[in-house]
Structure 1
Amino acid sequence: MSERKRVLVVDDEMLVAMMLEDMLDDLGYQVVGPAGSLKQAMDLAESETLDCAILDLNLGQGVVSTPVAELLRARGVPFLLATGYGANAETDRLGHAGLLPKPFSTSDVEAALKSMLG
């Protein structure tokens, strides 16, 4: 059996993070996290072996996950931005990151990950 791909999950909404964790587990991925804060996300993004990540762009109270995305990009780890706002200046600045529009289904997550990971 091949090793499960490791996906960092970053979302400040615990119910969304838990739902995404269940979806990823059902799809055969290993979840790293989930991280609910920028600090926790940065620590995991820096220290863990990752195949990819799904980042909630808006972490609440004006905090965005852009620093995590930039760290992942520097490490060569592909990521998806989960957002209910669609493409905007922040997502455009992050360039080649895929978008995972909220709300999403298991099939949306599966398709986005397959597209990103090949």
Structure 2
Amino acid sequence: MRTLIVEDEMLLALQLEHEVESSGYRVIGLASDESEAIALVEREQPEFAFVDIHLRDGPTGIDIGRYLASRGIPFVFVSGNLKRIPADFAGALGAIEKPYSANGLQNALLYLRAVLSGEDLPPPPSSLTIFQ
């Protein structure tokens, strides 16, 4: 699956990229602010995204989430402060709270793969907050 990572902390972005690629997903790009994210969406047409809320240009992750949702691209927020997610979830499938463990992220990726492929869903892992 073609995956976009929107994260302004480079070490976290690279760690997430490694974990995502280890799970068989293809990372099509890393963005650290809103303009980079939108340019990558337009150019690379991702099928899924991980989006931090607070980026290099401020709390623009919510706007990026709304943009992804308007394009029909599923995503999850990855944030150290899940309280900043709006009541309508900005169209996100869920959220992964930082700091996360490699095992927790792998479990979340397995669950998300099931969601996106239409498989029967196991219970969501504790590392992933699901929005209904």
Q: TM-score, normalised by structure 1?
A: 0.83
The amino acid that maps onto 1:17 is A
Q: Which residue does the alignment assign to 2:87? A: 92
Give aligned-pair identity as a percent. 32
The one-character-per-residue Cα deviations of 1:65-114 (angstroms, maximum 9, x if unpaired) are 122111211111110001111233x3423154301100112232233233
Gaps of 5+ in 2: 115-132
Structure 1 residue ranges (4+ consecutive) displaced by more than 4 angstroms after TM superposition: none
Q: Which residue does the alignment assign to 1:58? A: 54
- Contact residue 69 and residue 92 of structure 2 kept, 8 A: no
Please list, as runs of the form range in 1=range in 2, the aligned pairs for 1:1-118 lying within 5 A after superposition.
Answer: 5-60=1-56, 62-88=58-84, 90-93=85-88, 94-118=90-114
Q: Supply the distance in 2 between the matched residues of 1:14 and 1:86 (Cα, whole angstroms).
A: 20
- Contact residue 8 and residue 52 of structure 1 kept, 8 A: yes
Q: Give the number of equivalent residue pairs.
A: 113
The amino acid that maps onto 1:28 is G
Gaps of 5+ in 1: none
Q: TM-score, normalised by structure 2?
A: 0.75
